[in-house]
Amino acid sequence: MRRTEVVFPLEDGGGFKEKLLLWAQQYTEVIWLDSNDYQHLYPSFDAVLAVDALTAIKTDHHHAFDDLKEYQATTADWIFGYLSYDLKNDVEKLTSSNTDHLHFPELYFFQPKKMIFIKGNTAKFHYLPMVDDEVEEDFNAVRDMEEKDTPELRPIPGEGIKARIPREAYLQKVEQMLVHIRRGDIYEANFCQEFYTEEAGISPLKAFFGLNAISRPPFAAYLKLEDKYLISASPERYLKRTGNKVVSQPIKGTARRAEDPEEDQQLKHDLENTPKERSENIMIVDLVRNDLSVTAKKGSVRVEELCEVYTFEQVHQLISTVTSEVEDDISSVDIIRSTFPMGSMTGAPKISAMKIIEKLEETKRGLYSGAVGYFTPSGDFDFNVVIRSILYNAADKYVSFTVGGAITGESVPEKEYEECLIKARAMRRVLEE
């Protein structure tokens, strides 16, 4: 469907972004994706806002990828949305029996009437014909938004944030996972735990502004779909397609940041040279290579970066970049289906790891460790990995964030727990201060 495009120059790109999100709150469907100026990670634009659904698809995992494939082909337009982790049950003979406290649909995509791309000092408005007479009015409305319109972030009250799995139980569960590894059932698995609070009313947009400010990640996302919200400071790309090239950038290996520059440099060096951290990453790289080979041209799978250290506001991370080439007629949805869920959030071998994860974790992952992103009219796509994220069901007043880490044969349960607390620090700080 053809869209009207109008470009406006910006005097203050950062300020315009914040005003744009404030303005967007009038809509029922909102997705905001922000690269935070990480230009070296294959970005297509600095940021994009999609609002106001013309059409949408909302479903559970049954035939989800087939339904998405049909929806994407039928709209032949930009569509934005998410894939929850539990779509694994559509890909393999698996189940999700853990308790779901958040009640998000397992798949949700919509075709926005209005899209606004930020690139450099310009805002490009892409509007469908039925709303293109509102472009000028909307630009002026955004520009004239005042900071006083920013909602207040109310701190989490009462008992505060609680762990779904107590520390001692977590340590025991990691020991159980190590038994599976020693027995040869798996080599590695991503084990996660939820932190939550009930009867909590938060301001999702203010929480996003806070989390994004202290994290500045390359794959930040804010999602509002009716009464359900995602507030994401994800540093990880799941999968991107541009023409015939597919890119995956798994993260495995984490170290904290230090205020002292010398200590911070040492932590970075240690991360890069610790055998356990490197082996975690390399195992997932092998898994990603295998996943991509399903749809790749023969011999086209390449590891462009292996265990490169990337530094973010809160942590250092080991990131690898794996690419492949695909034929023109390969469906984008089929590329995603053949690699989903992403290896960095499952383990190896993938199916065995997912079965053990399901048995040892205590809550349904849902959107956590799923993916948020978009398809273009030509079938290109880009999706993040939903980690370092807060999920909020406003109707139920339920706030949740989940963190995890890779368990390998060299894992020490106490250190794995400490890594979880490091990853949880930014979300907890935003919600409790």
pLDDT per position in the chain (433 positions), as tens? Answer: 789 999 999 987 678 999 999 999 999 999 999 999 875 666 678 999 999 999 999 999 999 999 999 999 999 999 999 999 999 999 999 999 999 999 999 999 999 999 999 998 999 999 999 999 999 999 999 999 986 666 666 667 656 899 999 999 999 999 999 999 999 999 999 999 999 999 888 999 999 999 999 999 999 999 999 999 999 999 999 999 999 999 999 999 888 899 999 999 999 999 999 998 999 999 999 999 999 999 999 999 999 999 999 998 888 999 999 999 999 999 999 999 999 999 999 999 999 999 999 999 999 999 999 999 999 999 999 999 999 999 999 999 999 999 999 999 999 999 999 999 988 999 999 998 7
Beta-bridged to residue 5, according to DSSP, are 126
Q: Is 61 left (phi over 0), alpha (psi -120 to 50) or beta?
A: alpha
Residue ranges of alpha helices (H) inside 231-311 are 261-273, 275-293
CA distance 220 to 330: 28
Cis status, amide bond into 204, omega within 30 of 0: no
Residue 33 — φ and ψ, nearest 5°?
-120, 130
Q: Beta partners for 407?
A: 189
What's the CATH number where 261 sits?
3.60.120.10
Instruction: Name, in order, each residue with C-beta under 8 angstroms of 138's C-beta and a sequence gap of 6 or more.
Output: 23, 114, 125
CA dist 57 and 143 (Å) reads 32
Catalytic residue among 113, 228, 252, 350: 252
pTM: 0.95
How far is residue 160's CA from residue 143's CA, in Å, rounded to a whole number?
A: 37
Residue 114 annotated as catalytic: no
Q: How far apart, in whole angstroms, are the C-alpha atoms of residue 404 and residue 421?
A: 9
- State the residue for tokens 């955004």: 142
Amino acid at 314: Q
| Cα separation, 199 vs 159, whole angstroms | 10
Structural domains of the chain, count: 1
Element (H, E) at 83: strand 79-83
Burial 91-100 (b: 16+ CB within 10 A, else e): beeeebebee
Distance (Å, whole) CA 30 – CA 384: 17
How many other CB atoms are found less than 10 A from the CB of residue 322? Answer: 25
Catalytic status, residue 350? no
φ and ψ at 184, to 5 degrees? 90, 10
**What is the C-alpha to C-alpha distance for residues 180 and 409, in angstroms, rounded to an integer?**
9
Full residue range of the structural domain in which residue 170 is found:
4-432
Residue 128 near residue 54, CB atoms below 8 Å: yes
CA pair distance 323, 305, nearest whole angstrom: 10
**The one catalytic residue among 29, 188, 194, 236:** 236
